[in-house]
Homo-oligomer: A and B are copies of this chain.
Amino acid sequence: MLTVINRHRSIRKFLCDPVPKDILHKILMAGTKASTTGNMQVYSMIVSTQPEIKHRLWESHFKQDMVNQAPVIITFCADFNRFVKWCRQRNADPGYDNFLSFFTAAIDALLVAQNIALAAESFDLGICYLGTTTYMAESIIDILDLPKYVVPVTTLAVGYPDENPGLTDRLPLEAVVHYEKYIDYSEKMIDEIYRQKELLEETKQLLKENNKETLAQVFTDNRYTKKDNVAFSKALLNVITKQGFMNNG
Protein backbone atom coordinates (compact mmCIF):
# COMPACT_ATOMS: atom_id res chain seq x y z
CA MET A 1 0.00 0.00 0.00
CA LEU A 2 2.61 2.53 1.11
CA THR A 3 4.81 1.32 -1.74
CA VAL A 4 2.15 2.30 -4.27
CA ILE A 5 1.47 5.64 -2.55
CA ASN A 6 5.16 6.50 -2.22
CA ARG A 7 6.16 5.73 -5.79
CA HIS A 8 3.51 8.02 -7.31
CA ARG A 9 4.50 10.40 -10.05
CA SER A 10 2.27 11.88 -12.70
CA ILE A 11 2.48 10.28 -16.13
CA ARG A 12 1.96 12.50 -19.16
CA LYS A 13 2.93 10.11 -21.99
CA PHE A 14 0.90 6.96 -22.55
CA LEU A 15 1.16 3.86 -24.71
CA CYS A 16 -1.88 3.25 -26.89
CA ASP A 17 -2.61 -0.12 -25.22
CA PRO A 18 -6.15 -0.12 -23.85
CA VAL A 19 -6.90 -0.73 -20.17
CA PRO A 20 -8.29 -4.29 -19.92
CA LYS A 21 -11.98 -4.33 -18.99
CA ASP A 22 -11.56 -6.43 -15.84
CA ILE A 23 -8.85 -4.10 -14.54
CA LEU A 24 -10.95 -1.02 -15.32
CA HIS A 25 -13.86 -2.60 -13.48
CA LYS A 26 -11.72 -3.29 -10.39
CA ILE A 27 -10.42 0.28 -10.43
CA LEU A 28 -13.89 1.79 -10.70
CA MET A 29 -15.15 -0.49 -7.91
CA ALA A 30 -12.24 0.69 -5.74
CA GLY A 31 -13.47 4.25 -6.28
CA THR A 32 -16.81 3.42 -4.70
CA LYS A 33 -15.15 2.19 -1.50
CA ALA A 34 -14.10 5.72 -0.51
CA SER A 35 -15.85 7.45 2.37
CA THR A 36 -18.87 9.42 1.20
CA THR A 37 -20.97 11.96 3.12
CA GLY A 38 -23.83 10.18 4.86
CA ASN A 39 -23.33 7.33 2.39
CA MET A 40 -25.17 9.46 -0.17
CA GLN A 41 -22.55 8.85 -2.91
CA VAL A 42 -23.16 12.27 -4.41
CA TYR A 43 -20.66 11.89 -7.24
CA SER A 44 -20.45 10.43 -10.73
CA MET A 45 -17.57 9.24 -12.88
CA ILE A 46 -17.71 9.63 -16.65
CA VAL A 47 -15.40 7.15 -18.36
CA SER A 48 -14.51 8.32 -21.88
CA THR A 49 -12.58 6.11 -24.29
CA GLN A 50 -13.96 7.05 -27.73
CA PRO A 51 -11.48 9.12 -29.78
CA GLU A 52 -14.14 11.68 -30.83
CA ILE A 53 -15.12 12.43 -27.24
CA LYS A 54 -11.51 12.43 -26.05
CA HIS A 55 -10.70 14.81 -28.88
CA ARG A 56 -13.34 17.26 -27.68
CA LEU A 57 -12.12 16.89 -24.09
CA TRP A 58 -8.57 17.48 -25.35
CA GLU A 59 -9.68 20.82 -26.77
CA SER A 60 -11.18 21.77 -23.40
CA HIS A 61 -8.14 20.65 -21.45
CA PHE A 62 -5.86 23.20 -23.15
CA LYS A 63 -4.94 20.66 -25.86
CA GLN A 64 -2.70 18.66 -23.56
CA ASP A 65 -1.56 15.69 -25.68
CA MET A 66 -2.10 13.14 -22.94
CA VAL A 67 -5.89 13.59 -23.18
CA ASN A 68 -5.88 12.20 -26.70
CA GLN A 69 -3.17 9.69 -25.91
CA ALA A 70 -4.44 8.09 -22.71
CA PRO A 71 -6.86 5.26 -23.48
CA VAL A 72 -9.15 6.22 -20.59
CA ILE A 73 -10.22 9.67 -19.40
CA ILE A 74 -12.29 9.74 -16.21
CA THR A 75 -14.16 12.93 -15.33
CA PHE A 76 -15.17 13.12 -11.67
CA CYS A 77 -18.29 15.12 -10.91
CA ALA A 78 -20.02 16.49 -7.86
CA ASP A 79 -23.48 14.99 -8.53
CA PHE A 80 -26.69 15.67 -6.61
CA ASN A 81 -28.85 14.98 -9.70
CA ARG A 82 -29.34 11.28 -8.95
CA PHE A 83 -30.03 11.89 -5.26
CA VAL A 84 -32.47 14.74 -5.92
CA LYS A 85 -34.37 12.63 -8.46
CA TRP A 86 -34.59 9.82 -5.89
CA CYS A 87 -35.89 12.21 -3.23
CA ARG A 88 -38.59 13.52 -5.58
CA GLN A 89 -39.72 9.99 -6.45
CA ARG A 90 -39.93 9.17 -2.73
CA ASN A 91 -42.13 12.00 -1.55
CA ALA A 92 -39.16 13.81 0.01
CA ASP A 93 -38.32 17.49 -0.51
CA PRO A 94 -34.61 17.88 -1.36
CA GLY A 95 -32.74 20.98 -0.14
CA TYR A 96 -29.51 20.43 -2.06
CA ASP A 97 -29.48 23.38 -4.46
CA ASN A 98 -26.95 25.31 -2.40
CA PHE A 99 -23.21 25.90 -2.09
CA LEU A 100 -22.74 23.60 0.91
CA SER A 101 -24.23 20.72 -1.07
CA PHE A 102 -21.98 21.46 -4.04
CA PHE A 103 -18.92 21.43 -1.81
CA THR A 104 -20.02 18.25 -0.03
CA ALA A 105 -20.46 16.52 -3.38
CA ALA A 106 -17.09 17.84 -4.57
CA ILE A 107 -15.42 16.29 -1.51
CA ASP A 108 -17.12 12.96 -2.27
CA ALA A 109 -15.92 13.09 -5.88
CA LEU A 110 -12.33 13.95 -4.96
CA LEU A 111 -11.95 11.11 -2.45
CA VAL A 112 -13.24 8.73 -5.12
CA ALA A 113 -10.73 10.15 -7.60
CA GLN A 114 -7.78 9.52 -5.30
CA ASN A 115 -8.90 5.93 -4.65
CA ILE A 116 -9.10 5.44 -8.41
CA ALA A 117 -5.66 6.98 -8.94
CA LEU A 118 -4.06 4.64 -6.40
CA ALA A 119 -5.99 1.57 -7.58
CA ALA A 120 -4.84 2.29 -11.14
CA GLU A 121 -1.24 2.70 -10.01
CA SER A 122 -1.43 -0.61 -8.15
CA PHE A 123 -2.02 -2.21 -11.59
CA ASP A 124 1.08 -0.42 -12.98
CA LEU A 125 -1.07 2.08 -14.85
CA GLY A 126 0.00 5.71 -14.89
CA ILE A 127 -2.27 8.62 -14.04
CA CYS A 128 -2.31 12.37 -14.33
CA TYR A 129 -4.80 14.80 -12.79
CA LEU A 130 -6.09 17.52 -15.09
CA GLY A 131 -6.42 20.79 -13.16
CA THR A 132 -7.96 22.32 -16.26
CA THR A 133 -11.26 20.63 -15.30
CA THR A 134 -12.41 23.49 -13.06
CA TYR A 135 -11.18 26.14 -15.50
CA MET A 136 -13.11 24.65 -18.38
CA ALA A 137 -16.07 23.18 -16.51
CA GLU A 138 -18.62 24.84 -18.77
CA SER A 139 -17.35 23.27 -21.97
CA ILE A 140 -16.88 19.86 -20.27
CA ILE A 141 -20.52 20.02 -19.13
CA ASP A 142 -21.47 20.58 -22.75
CA ILE A 143 -19.30 17.74 -24.11
CA LEU A 144 -20.41 15.18 -21.51
CA ASP A 145 -24.11 16.23 -21.38
CA LEU A 146 -23.96 16.93 -17.64
CA PRO A 147 -27.39 17.89 -16.29
CA LYS A 148 -28.35 20.32 -13.51
CA TYR A 149 -26.78 19.52 -10.11
CA VAL A 150 -23.71 17.98 -11.78
CA VAL A 151 -20.34 19.83 -11.89
CA PRO A 152 -17.02 18.32 -13.02
CA VAL A 153 -14.33 18.88 -10.37
CA THR A 154 -11.35 16.87 -11.59
CA THR A 155 -10.25 14.48 -14.33
CA LEU A 156 -7.78 11.62 -14.51
CA ALA A 157 -5.94 10.50 -17.62
CA VAL A 158 -5.26 6.77 -17.18
CA GLY A 159 -3.14 4.37 -19.24
CA TYR A 160 0.09 2.43 -19.46
CA PRO A 161 3.09 4.76 -19.09
CA ASP A 162 5.30 5.59 -22.07
CA GLU A 163 7.79 7.43 -19.87
CA ASN A 164 9.51 6.79 -16.59
CA PRO A 165 10.00 10.08 -14.79
CA GLY A 166 11.62 10.31 -11.37
CA LEU A 167 9.73 11.32 -8.24
CA THR A 168 8.77 14.97 -7.99
CA ASP A 169 10.46 17.03 -5.25
CA ARG A 170 8.34 17.93 -2.24
CA LEU A 171 8.73 20.51 0.51
CA PRO A 172 10.08 19.04 3.76
CA LEU A 173 7.31 17.46 5.87
CA GLU A 174 7.54 20.16 8.55
CA ALA A 175 6.58 22.73 5.91
CA VAL A 176 3.08 21.30 5.49
CA VAL A 177 2.36 19.80 8.93
CA HIS A 178 1.51 21.77 12.06
CA TYR A 179 1.21 20.21 15.50
CA GLU A 180 -1.76 21.07 17.74
CA LYS A 181 -2.27 24.53 16.17
CA TYR A 182 -1.13 26.44 13.11
CA ILE A 183 2.24 28.12 13.62
CA ASP A 184 2.49 30.89 11.05
CA TYR A 185 5.65 31.08 8.94
CA SER A 186 8.39 33.58 9.71
CA GLU A 187 10.52 34.98 6.87
CA LYS A 188 13.30 32.71 7.97
CA MET A 189 11.07 29.64 7.91
CA ILE A 190 9.91 30.45 4.38
CA ASP A 191 13.54 30.76 3.27
CA GLU A 192 14.37 27.39 4.83
CA ILE A 193 11.32 25.56 3.54
CA TYR A 194 11.84 26.59 -0.09
CA ARG A 195 15.65 26.48 -0.12
CA GLN A 196 15.97 22.93 -1.42
CA LYS A 197 13.44 23.50 -4.21
CA GLU A 198 15.13 26.73 -5.23
CA LEU A 199 18.51 25.02 -5.48
CA LEU A 200 17.32 22.26 -7.84
CA GLU A 201 18.93 22.07 -11.26
CA GLU A 202 15.38 21.95 -12.67
CA THR A 203 14.63 25.31 -11.05
CA LYS A 204 17.71 26.92 -12.59
CA GLN A 205 16.61 25.70 -16.02
CA LEU A 206 13.09 27.05 -15.44
CA LEU A 207 14.44 30.50 -14.55
CA LYS A 208 16.51 30.53 -17.72
CA GLU A 209 13.67 29.28 -19.96
CA ASN A 210 11.20 31.76 -18.50
CA ASN A 211 13.72 34.57 -18.17
CA LYS A 212 12.78 35.11 -14.51
CA GLU A 213 14.73 36.10 -11.46
CA THR A 214 12.91 33.82 -8.94
CA LEU A 215 10.95 30.56 -9.12
CA ALA A 216 7.97 32.26 -7.48
CA GLN A 217 7.80 34.62 -10.47
CA VAL A 218 7.47 31.62 -12.81
CA PHE A 219 4.26 30.82 -10.94
CA THR A 220 2.84 34.32 -10.56
CA ASP A 221 3.82 35.67 -14.00
CA ASN A 222 3.54 32.58 -16.22
CA ARG A 223 1.88 29.50 -14.78
CA TYR A 224 -0.89 30.69 -12.47
CA THR A 225 -1.45 34.37 -13.14
CA LYS A 226 -3.86 36.67 -11.36
CA LYS A 227 -5.56 37.44 -14.68
CA ASP A 228 -6.26 33.76 -15.41
CA ASN A 229 -7.26 33.00 -11.83
CA VAL A 230 -9.76 35.85 -11.77
CA ALA A 231 -11.27 34.82 -15.12
CA PHE A 232 -11.51 31.16 -14.07
CA SER A 233 -12.95 32.12 -10.67
CA LYS A 234 -15.80 33.94 -12.38
CA ALA A 235 -16.30 31.06 -14.82
CA LEU A 236 -16.38 28.44 -12.04
CA LEU A 237 -18.79 30.44 -9.87
CA ASN A 238 -21.01 30.92 -12.93
CA VAL A 239 -20.99 27.19 -13.60
CA ILE A 240 -21.84 26.35 -9.97
CA THR A 241 -24.72 28.84 -10.20
CA LYS A 242 -25.93 27.62 -13.59
CA GLN A 243 -25.88 23.99 -12.45
CA GLY A 244 -28.23 24.94 -9.64
CA PHE A 245 -26.00 25.12 -6.57
CA MET A 246 -26.23 28.77 -5.53
CA ASN A 247 -29.69 29.04 -3.96
CA ASN A 248 -28.39 29.85 -0.52
CA GLY A 249 -31.64 31.17 0.91
Contact = CB atoms under 8 A, between A and B. Distances in A.
A124 to B, nearest CB: 11
A193 interface: yes
A108 to B, nearest CB: 10
Contact of A44 (B87, B101, B177, B220): B177
Given A38-B131, A43-B176, A229-B101, A1 B118 contact: yes
Interface in A1-53: 1-2, 4-6, 8, 10, 25-26, 28-35, 37-41, 43-50, 53
B216 A233 contact: no
Interface stretch (A59-67, A158-166, A180-188): A180-188
B234 A107 contact: no
A44 B176 contact: yes
Given A87-B219, A135-B100, A6 B35 contact: no
A173 B91 CA distance: 25
A86 to B, nearest CB: 5
Given A2-B122, A115-B114, A87 B134 contact: no
Contacts of A48: 179-181
Given A95-B226, A233-B249, A5 B100 contact: no
A171 B79 CA distance: 14
A92 B224 contact: no
A139 interface: no
A37 B214 CA distance: 19
A205 interface: no
Given A38-B219, A89-B190, A5 B115 contact: yes
A114 B194 CA distance: 25
Most chain B CB atoms below 10 A, which of A40, A89, A104, A229: A229
B219 A233 contact: no
A208 interface: no
A242 B6 CA distance: 36
Contacts of A38: 131, 219, 223-224
B181 A230 contact: no
- Pick the 8 closest A-B CB pairs, nearest first: A95-B226, A1-B122, A92-B216, A90-B216, A114-B114, A230-B249, A90-B214, A100-B233
9 contacts: A1-B1, A2-B26, A5-B33, A28-B177, A32-B176, A38-B219, A93-B221, A111-B113, A234-B248
